[in-house]
Structure 1
Amino acid sequence: MKYPKTLPQTHKQLLDKIVQKLQLDPRIVGIGASGSYATDTLDKYSDLDLVIAVKPEQFEAVMSERFTIIESIEGKVAAFTGEHVGEPRLVIALYAPDAIHVDFKFVSLPDAAIRVDDTKVLWEQGTLLSDTFKTKVPQYPQPEPQWIEDRFWIWTHYAATKIARGEYFEALEFLSFLRTVVLSPLALKQANLTPSGVRKIETRLPEFSKKLELTVAKPTKSELIIAFKQCIRLYLTLREHEDIQRNVEAQKLCIQYLEDETRL
């Protein structure tokens, strides 16, 4: 197996254990690695993002035993399923002694073709996993500008009500949502970069990141008002580069509502 140059030795040792153990299960037909492994951009803080391809007729059985399978790999100290990210097939685990985070995504072999980024084959029965990957091109989910526009002004109204009511921590959480779901993905898309929320935005778009800093606030009325107005300014600038139907009436109404109800 040819490893990425940036793979830390600690990660390599754990990965060898995982591959050696899983390939003994005849129901598993391939193991792939995506994320920073596939792009050769790992560091000591990186996760291992693994795809475990299973014979279709054995998938349900493997799913029911996936914690037992993961437990069989030496060093596992904790694990849980990925419903919180909308992926129940995912098991997120932590391994000692180096505290390495591993994502195990169990999929039926045909479903391995549906992936958001490139995935390198670590091991496979014959060429089963490689052949499956060839059937589809990876597609990272893109932000949908019209979907965002249809919601953004109601979101602005929502933020205004939280500030006006004094629910400052709720408003803080919503600022984070706008950065992750709206502002950063649109900026990255327009820069022809993978729109992966705010991950590494500081290095990927340093100038935009400086503007994004102004959307960070303390839980006070004055700071929240400044931060939300910056969100609106950034969104309007980003929207100029998108071919969408703009809801000018909602925009005017909700911006005025924010002004009226959060006046200091």
Structure 2
Amino acid sequence: MELVGVPEHLRVLAENVVAEAEKDPRVLAVVVGGSVASGTGDEYSDLDLVLVCTAEGQPECLAEAKEFAGRLGPLLASFTGEHVGEPRLLIALFGPPLVHVDLKFVTPDGYRDRVEDGLVLWQRDDTVERVRAESTAQWPQPDAQWIEDRFWVWVHYVAVKIARGELFEAIESLGAMRSISIAPLAGIGRTTRPAGVRRLETLAPELGPALRETVATADRADCLRALQATVDVYRTVRERSGVQVVRRTAAEEAAVDFLG
């Protein structure tokens, strides 16, 4: 079996997934997504797979997901994806050599709600083509107003944690603010597939020095400095995004005043 475009370190596992799918009449197709599908895969890429199953067979396939993964290769650990809001997902680690594989088991109707079309590695029939003809893949896009409505509340929250000496909570929250507020705005016009701070170094390299200032150590003064830097970077990306929002000016002024 020749899987064109699949990086060498992922090929054996991809071939094994297809072989197992072919033997199971409940499985209709195997679709790969992520960097492999976009042609940007490298030696660090994961294997992101969607297994489209019959509506009747999908619950059983999902219940047997760990057994399915165990037949693919040396399975070291696996768990389902409730923590990311995706119970249909099995996250697995194989090796050595270590390979991360995501296996999502969906029905044809479930496949309609997708973030990307991906690349079909194998299919039993034309189910995937029919679903794609009737629906459109949509990658979640940032909502600048949603961010603005929350950002200044978060600034106050972190400032209070710093004042209390809850520094690790403050550090955790600063990271979340980079991922949830700054990165999405910085990526507008630069990527159609925003994913938190992933690849932010290459998407917005000019922000590198300023973003480094938003990283804090477990020191009260340093956390406060990083929070102020976070405010500065947010204001910068809000302006550069070109997206019009209703600014929460009163909250902004009050939160900045609270920082001192």
TM-score, length of structure 2 as denominator length: 0.94
Residue in 2 that maps onto 1:123? 122
Residue in 1 that maps onto 2:251? 250
Residue in 1 that maps onto 2:148? 149
Show CA shifts across 1:117-155 (max 9, x none). 231101111221222223222211111111111111111
Residue in 1 that maps onto 2:83? 84
Residue in 2 that maps onto 1:94? 93
- Residue segments in structure 2 that go unaligned for 5+ positions in a row: none
* Aligned partner letter, 2:142: P
Query: Aligned equivalents of 2:220 and 2:138: distance in 1?
Result: 41
What RMSD over aligned residues (CA atoms) do the two structures have, in Å? Answer: 1.4
* Aligned partner letter, 2:174: L
Residue in 2 that maps onto 1:262? none
Show CA shifts across 1:229-253 (max 9, x none). 1111111222232211111111111
Please tell me whether the aligned partners of residues 46 and 101 of structure 2 are also in contact (alpha carbons under 8 angstroms).
Answer: yes
Q: CA deviation at 1:204?
A: 2.4
Query: Aligned equivalents of 2:111 and 2:259: distance in 1?
Result: 46
Pick closer, same or farther for the CA change 1:8–1:2 going to 2, 3 Å.
closer
Q: CA deviation at 1:224?
A: 1.2
Give the total of aligned pairs: 257
Q: Once superposed, which parts of structure 1, at least 4 consecutive aligned residues long, lie more than 4 Å away?
A: none
Residue in 2 that maps onto 1:38? 37
Q: CA deviation at 1:192?
A: 4.1
Show CA shifts across 1:154-184 (max 9, x none). 1111011011111111100011101111101
Query: Aligned equivalents of 2:48 and 2:66: distance in 1?
Result: 17
Query: Aligned equivalents of 1:219 and 1:73: distance in 2?
Result: 43
* Aligned partner letter, 1:40: G
**Seq. identity, %:** 39
* Aligned partner letter, 2:16: K
Residue in 2 that maps onto 1:47? 46
TM-score, length of structure 1 as denominator length: 0.92
Residue in 1 that maps onto 2:103? 104
Query: Aligned equivalents of 2:78 and 2:217: distance in 1?
Result: 34
- Residue segments in structure 1 that go unaligned for 5+ positions in a row: 260-264
* Aligned partner letter, 2:125: G
* Aligned partner letter, 1:229: Q
SS of the equivalent of 1:122 reads: strand
Show CA shifts across 1:83-128 (max 9, x none). 1111111000111232110000111112112211231101111221
* Aligned partner letter, 2:119: K
Of 7-16 and 212-221, more deviation after overlay is shown by 7-16
Query: Aligned equivalents of 1:136 and 1:229: distance in 2?
Result: 44
Of 71-80 and 159-168, more deviation after overlay is shown by 71-80
Residue in 2 that maps onto 1:14? 13
Pick closer, same or farther for the CA change 1:47–1:192 going to 2, 3 Å.
closer
* Corresponding position: 1:164 with 2:163: yes
Q: CA deviation at 1:228?
A: 0.9
Query: Aligned equivalents of 1:16 and 1:130: distance in 2?
Result: 21
* Corresponding position: 1:224 with 2:226: no
